[in-house]
Structure 1
C-alpha cells in the first residue's frame, strides 16, 4: 500500500469552517483509491461520512475530486460499483469481528508476502483464511511470473497453523505433496471466471466449518474463485452484506471476486444469511455439529474420507479441469499483469531473484527481510 496524508477543511454554505479532518489516501499501485478518516480511527466514521454527503459541504482542497468504484481485476467495463461507503462499512465490521487490529497489523509483512516472488498470498480472516496464488509442480519463472512448488509454502503454513488446502483450479501439482506433509487437501474445481454450483458452495462451507486450523484457498491467481468461496463463508457466519464482504476481501487482496461472481454473491446473500442463522441456532441449542460426509446422496460429488488423502472429485456438470490445460485463462492474464506491475514498482525490502534460485527444489517462501541473490 502507498500512503499520502493531507488535511481537509470543511466549510458550510456560509463559508464558516465546519471541521478540520486529517485524512489518509491509500492505494495499491493501480488499484482504486480508498479514503480512510484517521481521526479517532473510525470512531463515528460512517456518521461523519453520511453527514458530509447530506449537508453538501464544500471540500476546500478537492474541487472536482471524483471517487471511482473500487472495482475487480477484470479487463472489461465495471459492472459492479463498490463504493467508498461499502469500504467504510466493511472496515467497521472488520473491527467489530476482530479481523483488523491497527496495533498488530504489519505493513511490511503484508507488502512482502503479497508480491509474486514471495508467495503472492494474503490473510483474509486472521487465524482462519489465507488466499493465495496456485502452486505449480516446481518452482520456476514463466512469462515473467514466479511460480512456487507446494514445498515453498510449508514453513509459513506450519508456522501459522494451516491444516487445510483447498484447490479450485486445474491440477498443476500432485496433491500428495501436501497430504504427505501432513496437510489435508481438497479439490473443488470450477471454471476460471465462472460461479460455483450450490453443491460446491455447500461442500466448501462444510470443509471450512470442520477444519481444525487455518484454511489456505487457491485457484489460478487466487482472486476470483478463491475470493468468491471465502466470501460465502463470511456472509454465512458473520452476516456481512455481499458488498461489505467483497470490499473487505478486496481491501486485503485487491481485485478479488471478478465479474459475474460479484452479482452471484448478491444473489446468494439472503440464502447464506438464513443458513448462518440456522447454524448459530443449532450451536446455541447445544446441538452437536458432527463431521459428516458432505451432501450424502448427491451423485456429482463424492468424498474419500481418509486422513492420509482426501480428494473431492470434480463437479462434472459443466466443466472439467482439462478445459484449462491448453489455453490462457483469466488467471494466467491476471498473474502476468501483477508480475509486470510489481516489476515496475519495487520496494526497498525486495531484492532481485535469479531464475536459478526458483529452480531449486528446496526453495521456500522467504520471511520479510531475508534477501535472496
Structure 2
C-alpha cells in the first residue's frame, strides 16, 4: 500500500493578531497508521515483536499483513482475534504489574523459537506493552543471547523505553538468569 505524506505549513498568530507561516512543515499522519497497533516495534526483526493491547480488528489484520502469525496475549481479556482467523491466538493470563511464572516464560520462549524455525513471526502484548511484555522479552534475551538478567533488562529498556515496570518483574528476569546459569544453559 502506497503511503502519501502531505506537507502543510503551520500558521500562527502573533500578539498583535496578525498571522504568519512558521516556515516549518507539519507532516500529516498517513491514514494507514491508524491500523498499526499502539507501541508496536520489532525486537527481533521478522521474528518477535511487541505492542500494547490491540483494541481494534484493524490492528489484528495489520499484524497479519506485517507477517505475524502468532499473537501471545498476556492480559485477562483477549483482543478481537476473530477478525483474522488465520492468526493463531495464544492466551497466557498474567495479572497486571506482576511477573510471569518460570513455566510461562519457558512456554513463551518455546513458542517463539519453534515458530521461528518455520519462519513464522510472533507478537506479544499486555495492556501497554511494557511490564509483562518487557519481562517476557528480557527473559527471552537471557535464554537466547546468553546474557545476564541485568544486561537483558538494560537491552529491552534500550529497545523499548519504559519496559519492565516493577521490582518484582526485574527480580523475575534476574532469577530466570540464575536458574538457567545453575542448569548450565547460559
Give the TM-score normalised by structure 2. Answer: 0.71
Describe the SS at the equivalent of 1:255.
coil
The correspondence for 2:124, drawn from 217, 238, 241, is 217
The 8 Å contact of residues 72 and 125 in structure 2, kept in 1 or not, is answered as yes
Aligned to 1:277, the other structure's residue is in SS state coil
Aligned residue number for residue 202 of structure 1: 106
1:240 matched residue in structure 2: 147
Indicate which of 37, 41, 52 corresponds to 1:122: 41
1:175 aligns with 2:94: no
Q: 1:135 aligns with which of 41, 54, 63?
A: 54
Indicate conservation of the 8 Å contact 2:61/2:83, yes or no: no
Q: Is the 8 A contact 1:236 1:273 kept in 2?
A: no
Name the counterpart of 1:162.
68
Shift of the 166–275 alpha-carbon distance from structure 1 to 2, 3 Å rule, reads farther
Deviation at 1:274, TM superposition (A): 5.8
Tell me the alpha carbon deviations over residues 148-188 of structure 1, each in whole angstroms, 9 at most, x when there is no partner.
Answer: x1323423x3443211100001214343334x1x1111000
Deviation of the 1:117 alpha carbon: 8.6
Residue 22 of structure 2 aligns with which residue? none
Of 174, 183, 187, the match for 2:91: 187
DSSP-derived class of the 2:185 partner: helix
Note the residue ranges of structure 2 that are not aligned, 5 or more in a row: 1-29
CA deviation map 1:316-353 (0-9, x unaligned): xxxxxxxxxxxxxxxxxxxxxxxxxxxxxxxxxxxxxx
* Larger-gyration structure (1/2): 1
Distance 1:150 1:250, change over 3 A: farther
Contact 2:81 2:89 in 1 (8 A): yes
Taking a change above 3 Å as real, the CA distance of residues 189 and 233 of structure 1, as seen in their structure-2 partners, is same
Q: Supply the distance in 1 between the matched residues of 2:79 and 2:123 (Cα, whole angstroms).
A: 15
Structure 1: 5+ residue stretches without partners: 1-111, 137-148, 279-373
**How many residues are matched?**
150
Q: Offset of 1:205 from its aligned partner?
A: 1.8
Q: Is 2:71–2:87's contact at 8 Å kept on the other side of the alignment?
A: yes
Partner Cα distance (2:79, 2:121) in 1: 21
